Chains A and B, each alone.
Chain A
Amino acid sequence: MANDQHPMNTKSTGNLGAKIEYEKYLDCVHCGLCTAACPTYLETGDENKSPRGRIYLMRAVTDGRLELTSEVRENLELCLDCRACETACPSGVQYGRLIEPFRMDVEQSDAAAGGKPSWFQKRILHGLLPDRKKTRRALIPARIMQTLRLDRVIESVGLVRLLPEKLQRMFKQLPRLEPRSPELPERLPAIGPKRATVGLFLGCVADAMFRQTHWATARVLQQNGCEVVIPRNQACCGAMHYHSGADRPALQLALQNAAAFDEAEVDAVVVNVAGCGAMLKDYPEIAHEIAPNDTAIADPLGKLTDKIKDISEFLSELGPIAPTGEIKLRATYHDACHLCHAQQIREQPRELLKLIPGLELIPLPESEICCGAAGSYNLTEPEMSDRLAKRKYGNIMLTDPQAVITANAGCSLQIQAEMRQQRQRIPVFHPIDLLDMSYRGVSPV
């Protein structure tokens, strides 16, 4: 990152890390078992870019032993927040609850020191992406271009290079957009004997780009005897705001979601995007950090979080009704970090996929290593993001797949973009896309 954006670079560190409960640092016994689980350490071999190293750095800054210089900053910014280290840690260190509040402090102290958010943060990260209607409208020109194949022309004659670098990357990340599917209704009935009433969480970017997966999720839930409720007044999960330092706006969105789903009186709130699910499950911790002891915030958020289930987690608890449509496909499954590490959900999606007749699942080497998407990371840390995308691509190709399956919108975009770069036509599916096709007896090809 350019240093000029950081007025705090060489100044004293103030009370950075003050939001962190100090006891959480002490959980780390410095054993180093996390290192080999960390994608950026795997790539660089540098301990400054490992979880143990980053905890050491954050603690040193908090203790006043070290200033937050540009080098320290770079090492902390390079963290994907994939939380693979939490899976590896035998001492139960909550790494996410260290790096996230620490970053929040950094963002806020930068702002207090007069640093302005970049146009990209303001317009795209905060202004556009978290709003599903705006994102959808912004994608209209892209849809038209894709229909007319103008996008390929722009790319092939190099016009894309006229765009600012981050927009170039967004352009490259853009998937083949499905034909516009209609907005989901507020209520869809259960098919067969009713087993539960569930809310469906839509999110922002996902609803704009992957609405077909929302439809698939709703249909799969209906097939499994669930009445599906989709409250109109639900909001973005707030992860993008929170991760870029806007904690109060994030909290506001959290409360809006809590109110929307509370009104709907559902048994569970189902999420099909791993990143959103992880954020929704973290609401109480985040609220505790931002507004400690405020029960008016903590209570509704706790109530919502208790109901949050990833779609695969929910179906596996409910007991899925096996689909019968054959899908003859050799595929491999990539574990989204925010599903396997942040939510510890690994077996459930695989179990669901095994229900599909004809589908052959080949184990993916390093399936739990981040693909480099990591929310907006692919826009903010392009070099490392690309390295990890190539690493993931190499591993995927070892399985000689006809399709890749992953349960997170970001991973899907990243892997699709890398496939296009490598001139491969291997499609990327959400597990629910395939399950839905099997129920409907249609073929993905």
Chain B
Amino acid sequence: MSVDEMTTTSESLPAILDNLREIVGADSVLSSHEQLLVYECDGFVIEKNTPDCVVFPETTEQVVAIVKLCNQHQIPFVPRGAGTSLAGGCLPVGGGVMIALTRMRGIHEVNLRDRYAVVGPGTVNVHLTQHLKGTGFHYAPDPSSQGACTIGGNVATNSGGPHTLKYGVTVNHILGAEVVLPDGEVVQLGGYLAESPGYDLTGLFVGSEGTFGVCTKVIVRLTRDPAAYRTMLGVFETVSDATQSISGIIGAGIIPAALELMDQGIIEAVEAAFGFGFPLDAGAVLLIEVDGLEVAVDNEAKQIVELCEQHGAREVRKADSPQQRDLLWKCRKKAFGAIGRLSPSYCTQDGVVPRTKLPEILKFITESGARHDIRIVNVFHAGDGNIHPILLFDERDSEQVERVLRASDEILNRCIELGGSVTGEHGIGVEKISFMNKLFTAEDLETMESVRIAFNPLGLCSPQKMLPTAGACGMEHIERSHPARKAAL
């Protein structure tokens, strides 16, 4: 079905609104222009479109009723959590009904002995962390947006975070889910056990960016808190020395809990903001954390220091107190906020390369910046080759904006050429849909499309996301006018 056929809501809207109010109550439906405006975009602000209405269900039954109503009237619908997507995952393409899951945020069950918890999709990631504090367990995926993003959104985008290097991404921590399929049927995927027989439908669902249905409950795995950790800061003359050290550390068989790189530009901004005492003349620093048993971490830390020194580290400092560790992490997690000190606007890209290609892509980024006369700084999850080059510019200068777009595309294309990808953790959404046919063959895409059709045959659920569907509204051809300015990574 084409989007033209789907966007017929204007005629049927008044009747649907009445039905929706019956389902969730009048207080839980937004339909006026001024109430819908804030829902026209998420953390990705380049494409905008308001939904026809926003509903706030509180139970699975209400979600089912909403989805069935949408099917009955052939109206598109899109789930939304906290709206922190950096790729337009929550953009209501074609308008329709936006299902806000923010009121389904109950922590239904915590079972420490079997190491799982059952939560609503609207549960904020950090609220689960806080709820588990003191139990000796935690939910491992910790995207830098964890203070606001929801578990449901994490499931949709298969989120990462600094600690995914050792602990894995979201899919490794989801045991099961209750899902309302795009036709309104409720299914249970997976369960409470670590291994379920049959197809791994949970694994298929995680990362489907809302195109396979609306998740209404999530069973998450709980991980034991590490007994001890050591946090270090490696100081390097050049970015290349730092990236060589990363390969050296991983090559030696050590998997740090986190391995983050900040280059000189970021060091300058972070130092001005937090005053940690970073050396301003260093080419790059590595934030390295190891965790595990008390007896093991010192040995690993010692090896890391030696490896860094072998690769030309000027010095390796250790965070001596919990306060110093917290400050170090604050510098990293809030690095993007500090960028305001360097430039009025910025745009962050999210690319991946094989770890061994890090020196190469970083060199390319520097060259690309010089070629387009755009200053680019770097802070990223170095351990898994997930780069986040930050392009600095002034959005009021349209010519500069053009150069930023060109440099961004060049960098992402280079990531693909080096055997990588155009998204490490933000998802495809609508932002990167045009890269899909560079990443995959037509056959690959057809196969993915057939999987989508199995779940979502009418395409009403999260239309025009992730896959560049042939003959559709042509989202893939939309030219971007402004680069995204993103903070949370």
Contact = CB atoms under 8 A, between A and B. Distances in A.
A33 B34 contact: no
B84 A45 contact: no
A34 B38 contact: no
Contacts, number: 99
Contacts of B130: 365
Nearest to A69: B34
A91 B35 contact: no
B82 A53 contact: no
A60 B37 contact: yes
Given A33-B487, A90-B487, A91-B340, A66 B148 contact: no
Interface residues of A, number: 34
Contact of B147 (A33, A46, A57, A91): A33
A144 interface: no
Contacts of B236: none
- Most chain B CB atoms below 10 A, which of A32, A48, A56: A32
A45 B105 contact: yes
B488 A46 contact: no
B175 to A, nearest CB: 24
Nearest to B337: A90
Given A36-B148, A90-B487, A31 B84 contact: yes
Interface in A184-237: none
A219 B217 CA distance: 56
Nearest to A68: B34
A30 interface: yes
A37 B147 contact: yes
B417 to A, nearest CB: 30
Main secondary structure of the interface of B (DSSP, over half): loop
A386 interface: no
Nearest to A67: B34
Main secondary structure of the interface of A (DSSP, over half): loop
A30 B43 contact: yes
Given A32-B42, A48-B38, A71-B32, A90 B488 contact: yes
Contacts of A89: 337
Contact of B45 (A30, A46, A65): A30
B147 A36 contact: yes
Contacts of B436: none
Interface stretch (B107-115, B120-128, B259-267, B458-466): B120-128
Interface string B23-35: 0000000101111
Contacts of B334: 90
A146 B37 CA distance: 51
Contacts of A92: 337, 340
- Most chain B CB atoms below 10 A, which of A45, A48, A52, A65: A45
Contacts of A155: none
Interface string A42-81: 0001111010110011001000011101011000000000
- Most chain A CB atoms below 10 A, which of B37, B38, B344: B38
A29 B35 contact: no
24 contacts: A29-B487, A30-B45, A30-B485, A31-B84, A32-B488, A35-B148, A36-B126, A37-B148, A45-B56, A46-B56, A46-B100, A46-B102, A47-B83, A52-B38, A53-B38, A56-B38, A57-B37, A66-B34, A69-B34, A90-B487, A90-B488, A91-B336, A91-B340, A365-B130
